[in-house]
Amino acid sequence: MVEKRPFLAGRLKRHQPGDEQQHHDDARPGSLSLEIPSSPIDEVKLDVSNLPWECSYEELRAAGMPLSKLDGSALSPVPYGVASSSNRVFEAKLSFIPGGCFLSVSTCHAFVDAWGFIVIMDMWSRCCREIQAAPPPARPADSKPEPAARSDDNGSRPPALFGSKPTADEYESLRRRPELWQLLGLDWRHRDRDDEQGPQAPAPFQHPAAVKTCMFSVSPAGLAAIKQMATPEPAAPGSEPQWISTKDALVAFLWRSIIRARAPSWTDDDRRAQSMVSVAIDGRRALSPAIPLSYIGNVVFCCLTWLPVEQLVDRDDAGGLAAAALAIRRSIAGRARDPWLLADAVRLAAGLPDVGQGAALGNAFTSWFARDLVTTSVVDLPIYDLDFGGAFGGQASRPEYFRMPRGQFDGICMVQPKQRDGVVDVILSLEPDQMARLMADGEFREHMAFLSE
C-alpha cells in the first residue's frame, strides 16, 4: 500500500518563524508542507503488540465492547492531543489480546478526513487479500461501491481546492463574510471590524473537570420513528411534507435531548441565548468541479445552525423537533451544498496571510460542553464492508466493531458507522449530572438504548 501511495509514510511539517527556506509554494507563517522520505517503506509506522489485558475479547464482546475498557494510551499508535510541529500522515498499531485483536489507526486530520480514512482502509484490505490470494468479497446488492474503485487518483490536489489566491481587495471582501469563516470552522466574530472591536483572540477552550462518556444505540425502527417525529407538516394542505434526511432528524433529536440535559445548570442569560449545532459536511460532491471520491485529502466543511435555547428546551412536542430538523436541513442546503459559497470559503482560506499560532484564528467553538453542540457523523462509512481476507478465519475477516479508544475526542457527539443490521451507535460525553438527566429523559430512552460506558 505504501509503495503505491508513498505519501502515507510522509510527515506534515508546520513551518515556524525563522525557518531558513520554504520547500513549497505556500510561504505563509504556519503553513504545512508534506515531506516524503526517500525510502517510504522503511519509514511507515506499524506497531504490533501482545497486550496483557484484564478482559478477553469474548468478555469485551459480551459487555458491548465498552469504551471504558479500551485504553487509548495503550491502543493508540500516537497519543491524542500531542502538539507537534511535525506529524505523520498515517500511523497504525495492531494489538493482540486473548481471543482477538484491535487495529488502531491514526491519520493527521490536516491531511486526511473521514472519507479519506475509509479509502486508505479499503486499499489496505485489498492488499491483505492479495497477499492471501483471497477472492474479492461478496458485497450486498444495495451497498456502496468500494471507495478505491470509484475513480483513479494520482494524489494531486484537485482544482476545486487549488483556487487562485485572492487579491488584497478580494481578501478584504471575503474576510468580512461571517458565513465563510463558519464553513471553515473558524471564529467569525468581529471579523468585519478594523477598530478596537475588531478581531480578538479566541477565548481559551473550556473543558469540564469531570466527563462521563457513554455509548447508545438506535435500531432501524428507532431511526424510522425519529424521522417520522421530525418530519415537518406539509407547508400547505394537500402538499407533500417538507423533506429532511434521517441524519437531519437524528442530529436534531440529539441536539434537543443534550441541550435539555445541560440547561438546568445554566443561568437565565444562557437560556435566553442561542444554541449552535455543527454538522460536518463532505464537500467532494458539492464543490465544482467535483472531487473524485478516491481523493484522500481533507474536504470537510462545517455547517452551523442556530436556534434559541428556550425553543430547544421548552418545546417538547414533535413540532419542536421538526423545527430543529428543518433548520438543519435548510442550513445544509443553503450553505454546504452551494458550490459558489464553498469556493469562496476555499479562497478565503488561501488568502489568510498567517495560518500559524500567532494568527489567533480561533475555533468556532470555545467549548464542546456548553450551549453549543459539535457533531460528527461517519454513519455512511462502509467500515463493516471491509474484508481483510481469511487469515483470522470466518467472519473475522471483517471488522466487528468500530470504536474510539477511551479519552479520544471527549465532548464531540459522534454518530458511528451503520452496522450490517442497520443499528447505529452514538458516542456522547456530558458532565456526570447532565448524563444522569439525559438517561432519565423518557423521550430519549424510548428511542436510544444504553449500550456501555
pLDDT (0 to 100) of residue 246: 96
pLDDT (0 to 100) of residue 444: 96
11-133 topology per CATH: Chloramphenicol Acetyltransferase (3.30.559)
Smallest CA-to-CA distance from 372 within 438, 233, 280, 277 is with 277
pLDDT (0 to 100) of residue 32: 85
pTM to 2 decimal places: 0.89
For 57-65, the CB contacts below 8 A with 24+ separation are 57/97, 57/98, 57/99, 57/100, 57/101, 58/99, 58/100, 60/100, 61/100, 61/400, 63/452, 64/215, 64/451, 64/452, 65/401, 65/403, 65/452
Smallest CA-to-CA distance from 300 within 282, 277, 278, 287 is with 282
Hey, which CATH number is domain 169-193+206-452, 3.40.50.620, 3.30.950.10, 3.30.559.10, 1.10.357.10?
A: 3.30.559.10
Residue-range domain boundaries for the chain = 11-133, 169-193+206-452
Fold: same for 11-133 and 169-193+206-452: yes
pLDDT (0 to 100) of residue 57: 93
pLDDT (0 to 100) of residue 133: 77
Per residue in 61-85, pLDDT tens? 999 999 989 888 888 888 655 556 6
Query: Which grid coordinates belong to 25?
Result: 509554494
pLDDT (0 to 100) of residue 199: 46
**Mean pLDDT, 10 residues at a time, over the chain (453 residues)?**
90 74 65 88 85 88 91 80 70 91 90 94 91 67 53 62 86 94 88 51 60 95 96 77 92 96 88 92 93 93 94 80 95 92 94 78 81 92 91 75 81 92 96 96 96 92
